Structure 1
Amino acid sequence: MDHRFQVNLRGVIDLLSHHLYSSPGVFVRELLQNATDASRARRNLEPAHQGEVRVELIEKQDGGPPTLLFQDDGVGLTEEELHRFLATIGESSKREALEAHRGDFIGQFGIGLLSCFMVCDELLVVTRSVKAEGRETWEWRGRQDGTYSVRPSEHPLARPGTQVFLIARPDAAEYFTHERVRQLALHYGSLLPFPLQLTAHGRTEHLNPTPPPWRRAYESAAERRQALLAHGREVFGMDFVDCVPLRAEAGQVEGVAYVLPFSPHFQSRQTHRVYLKDMLLTERAENLLPQWAFFVRCVVNAQGLRPTASREAFYEDATLASARDALGQCLRQYLVDLATHEPRTLQRLIALHGLSVKALALDDDDFYRLVIHWLPFETTLGMMTLEHYRQGSPTVRYVTTLDTFRQVSRVAAAQGLCIINAAYTHDAALLEKLPRVLPNARVEVFSAAQLPQGLEELTAEEHEGVARLRRIAEEALESFGCEVSLKKFLPAEVPTLYGDVEEGAFQRDLERAREESDSLYASLLEGTQDKAPPQERPQLCFNLRNPVIRRLARVRDTAQLRLSVEMLYVQALLLGHRPLNAREMALLNRGLLGLIESRLGDDEDTGSLH
């Protein structure tokens, strides 16, 4: 034996109010939606029908609870339709009777009217169908306990349409004030294509006199931009940097994206104000734009997307995916146009959202391709975009630490060598990703040890003149594992260049930590160093263009020459921001004391105490 499911209306209403709808105020949206759909349905039958929606707040003279009246001149309902559509949960007049025009209607689920029971205990619907032969007026009275009644009305309507009466429940009185009703009606219905009138305290106000700004005609692009920005300020309560018109054939979406004046985290999902068939759907839509479009907030109206049952989001399907791609293309084209016609504006935009742009580019290959060449990088030749860099060099060279960049920047710049400082957040990872996304790109990590390789070599005569300096320097620095070379390079005021290999800084830190640790931890570090592969030795390059180095090559005093070499070695380490180990600190102290003693000795030879 089969049995029918039983529906507890109170339980369903509790489900709607606590789990499906975001606020009891959505009853205004549901009633405006039903009125709008009824007007659209009548227009399908009578194309010349104009349609209008009226909302009236009726306050009792005796202080009783106020009543809200929602009235339309739409298609209306017959007696059979009242039983079928208003008393059957999940049944919708848009589902079968008007299947040919289903795409015209907002409501599709047959549960919207139940939202009224979140603010009232009884609901009265008075309706006259445009299709009924006798044009009878019927009353449908529904109650929160799940009962309803249908009867002919004692007050026939003069024309087809529907009236819905709601009497405020005490705990919902806040939704029956003029200010709240006006705010909710404007909130949900400001874009409705039918006139929306609100009557209260004997006055009637037209709430939607103008179409949305993206549908209006303007005399110039500047005027249009100002109007769109003003609309964004009104909707979101902030001034935006710029605005981008949006349009997608899939889902028939149109609207505006506003560029945020601050930089949100790239993983934060921006919420957008979205209308469905001119009725506000939600202000928290998250799946309408691509994830990489974190820097905009938009207002859009869709005609052909599917709402969820709560009508506060869109159903994820192929149409929504196509619309999302098309809207993303609008934003991509906006960035491309900026790059072509307003590069300074694009640079300001990237500067504002720089860190988030870089982070998202690492996660999204399409977005990476879009923005990577516009991103600015610090180089030895100044700030420049990657596009500018690649125009002058087929291979992108970069260093990964700020110390290395400081070490090579002056000398590299003097030689016209462009090296990127990728020590900033995400920069190294972005450059490493370049050949994976763009197969024709070449990148390489640059080390200070490579810099001397491109410097000017000495002549045979110069080699002979500095042979003694080279020999003494090699002997002095052998115990420090540092090789010696002599070259000529600019700027001339730089006497030496310390060229460390890529892992050199790590090895120096490891050695210093071992020196400063107890015996147990030092032995662990010793084991780590022993397992590391052998590295190229760092190099101290002497600059023969420097006057001090040329004079040093002529010094005959071996001790003085050795001391000078050691001090130049320590100076090069300090200029390269390399931490000194214990032996190097001892070398610095010994060198300073030696210079002081030498100076004091000169003074004793040339003067006396008084």
Structure 2
Amino acid sequence: MPTETFEFQVEARQLLQLMIHSVYSNKDVFLRELISNASDALDKLRLAVLRDESLDADASDLHIELEADQEARTLTVRDNGIGMSYDEVTRLIGTIANSGTAAFLQELKEAKDTAGADGLIGQFGVGFYSSFMVADEVTLVTRRAGERQGTRWTSRGEGTYTLETVDDAPQGTAVTLHLKPADPENQLHDYTAPWTIREIVKRYSDFITWPVRLLPAGTATSDAADEETAAGEPETLNSMKALWARSRDEVSDDEYHELYKHISHDWRDPLETIRLQAEGTFEYQALLFVPSHAPHDLFTQGYRHGLQLYVKRVFIMDDCAELLPSYLRFVKGVVDAQDLSLNVSREILQQDRHIRMMQRRLTKKVLSTVKDMMNTDQERYRAFWREFGAVLKEGLVTDPDNRDALLAVSSFASTRDAEEPTTLAQYAERMPESQTDIYYMTGDSRQAIENSPHMEAFRAKGIEVLLLTDPVDEVWAETVGEYEGRKLRSLAKGDIDLGTESTDGEEGKDSGKDGQNEEYAGLLGWMTERLGEEVKEVRLSSRLTVSPACVVSDTDDMTPALEAMYRAMGQEVPAVKRILELNPEHPLVKGLNRAYAQDGDRTELADTAELLHTLAVLAEGGRPKEPSKFVRLVADRLERTL
């Protein structure tokens, strides 16, 4: 097949220009990424050979080679792993479309510091393209194991790349970087210098389970530290020790952190490192990491999660989602099992009792670690909850077995303190004896909730309310229902009578309520009939002190936010009529009742009733059913005041 030339997509060209013009402070990461890619290729080949004995592939000495030519200024990273076919090169190397380029570019623009920009390379899967930070031209030669023909890919990063088939390519992949001219003032970035290569590999890739070998230099060197390389013997640069198999005192925090960065493609250190070794009838080792920041795509449907699964040090898969529940999908790490089959598939994993046993144990270990963090280091716990609280609360709905453990490590914003969140246990401890329920309110933001009419009586009586602003709060609060015998009550649902609720523990009475109900009975009945298409009932409210009206859901009905959530998930739910509550002490409501009692023009009265309902809907963040009619009614009322 002749050589063909292709053009990069627009976003790919933008990305390459960023690489070429060196927006990154630490160019060394390119070598980390290429070695990581090579390691993955070796993992895949070893697994392929174990699963398919007929595969025509040499797996006798799997390794990674680094070859530097100081005279030609080239650096080659070579592996004898699984390799790629022509189609795979076209799909994986010829385009960056699958690497989240748009999101990468946006994150890059928003990066607050150069260190943050450095880490985005691996996080968005564009590690191969980081080669253009240090190279004027990149050539990739690869042959997939079991195939006879190879593929050569070449680009100068200027908008085009070439593809051609080759007959003499060895198994695996070789990436050759034609390095930019040397900078005499910055020898630290001479990537043909053996001592520079050694230092980078030791720092970033010492834990790689395959040997990373530096081949003899192609030209003589006067550096005394390079005698071994110059002598003609390949030099193995990494220790190849699996960190999870070594005792805690044998591994430094820096080594753990580098393994985390290798696994997660995150540039920041993890918030927490978790070790677990299970012995007995089923043995396995686990090394887990809690990130310090939530990934940008944590809540997207395509987010890839799961732990790396090994069986007796043999890599099996990269994202074994069965090892942790979905609400812990942010946790990264490695699990090495001793008694699983090497031919284990995802279908088998879903049914394997050992996997289920590991998931239960790993889940409890992560939650107990968060609990310890909460008890011993509030600052770190708050950082954790700020990043991952919303996803952790999903478990309150999906994992009833661990619900108590999840509630114990959950915290929520509260009207008690604008800065410090509270746990349910702390809330319960502060409840006066007369208060029997835990009150909460959901909304888009703290400010929106605090300004809600539903909060007025609670604020006036000094009753603490939990302020829940995550979408999942609507679901878990309904699902959980109570905490240690105390009901969780939404301020926007049911008939709440605060006549006996107060912060000083003294009981009080709303002795005038029955009389008010009798006084307003006619108006309430008429408005219920008049607004029957919109509301289930019109009644007097005990939760309002300032606003004239509010809308609430019935005790067992679905809230509008929950309706919207289910519809967004593609589920059809019937529209639910809500209840309109009136404040009998508000001048507008009093005036409306007087007008009704006078039995005057009910047409104008009907317009006022409709306006009152629409204002209540707006006050909770809803929108009028007929915006144009609402505007007309308001304009008409304003005109009469002039």
Q: TM-score by structure 1 length?
A: 0.49
Larger radius of gyration: 1
